[in-house]
Amino acid sequence: MRFFPILARPILGLFGAATAVLLLSGCTSTPAAPNPGLKESFHTEISANGSKRFTYALEMTTPLVRGPYTQSPTARGGMVRTQDMPGRQPPGNRGLDFDHALNLKLQETGFCLDGYFVIERSVSPMNGEVRGECREGVQR
């Protein structure tokens, strides 16, 4: 029993060092992307006159990614008339559902609660970008 304290110190020292390394490596690692295979950006701008603008971009970096941004509108249970939605892709296409992704982002951030005007729009089956201005301005 006399040698237990002698052996305990090196073991506890190694255990402490290993724990510190694990904790530090956990703090320095980058979090995983919420939707692997998709690259998303959302930038906002509030001008001096109170108008609110945004730019939203979404790119599918890996083909055949499945998730909330790639579901076709009919897969979500909604009826779609493609001719009534300029810039929308046909329901059978497995590309991005860009408008759905944009609406999710606006709900998530609380930006443009009263809707928005489209300033510029460019959407394809694999990527899209919209610049818009909110209908409501900043309350002063």
3 shares its domain with 54: no
* pLDDT beyond 60 at 80: no
Residue 81 CA to residue 47 CA, distance in Å, equals 37
Residue 137 has a pLDDT of 82
* Arithmetic mean of pLDDT over the chain: 72
* Overall number of domains in the chain: 2
Residue 135 has a pLDDT of 93
Residue 133 has a pLDDT of 97
57 shares its domain with 126: yes
Its pTM stands at 0.56
Pairing assessment for the beta strands 38-46 and 52-60 based on DSSP bridges = antiparallel
* φ/ψ of residue 21, rounded to 5: -65, -45
Domain that holds residue 20: 1-30
* 50 lies in some domain: yes
Which two three-digit tokens encode residue 63? 């083909």
116-123 β-sheet, strand order: 38-46, 52-60, 127-134, 116-123
User: What is the 3-state secondary structure of 44-107?
Assistant: EEECCCCCEEEEEEEEECCCCCCCCCCCCHHHHCCCCCHHHCCCCCCCCCCCCCHHHHHHHHHH
* 26 lies in some domain: yes
* C-beta of residue 116 within 8 angstroms of C-beta of residue 54: yes
92 shares its domain with 123: yes
Residues 49-72, mean pLDDT to the nearest whole number: 77
Proportion of the chain above pLDDT 90, given as a percent? 39
* pLDDT beyond 50 at 86: no
* pLDDT beyond 80 at 88: no
Residues 75-87, mean pLDDT to the nearest whole number: 41
11 shares its domain with 74: no
70 shares its domain with 25: no
Residue 130's DSSP bridge partners are 56, 121
Residues 57-80, mean pLDDT to the nearest whole number: 59
Residue 120 CA to residue 134 CA, distance in Å, equals 13
* 103 lies in some domain: yes
43 shares its domain with 13: no
42 shares its domain with 26: no
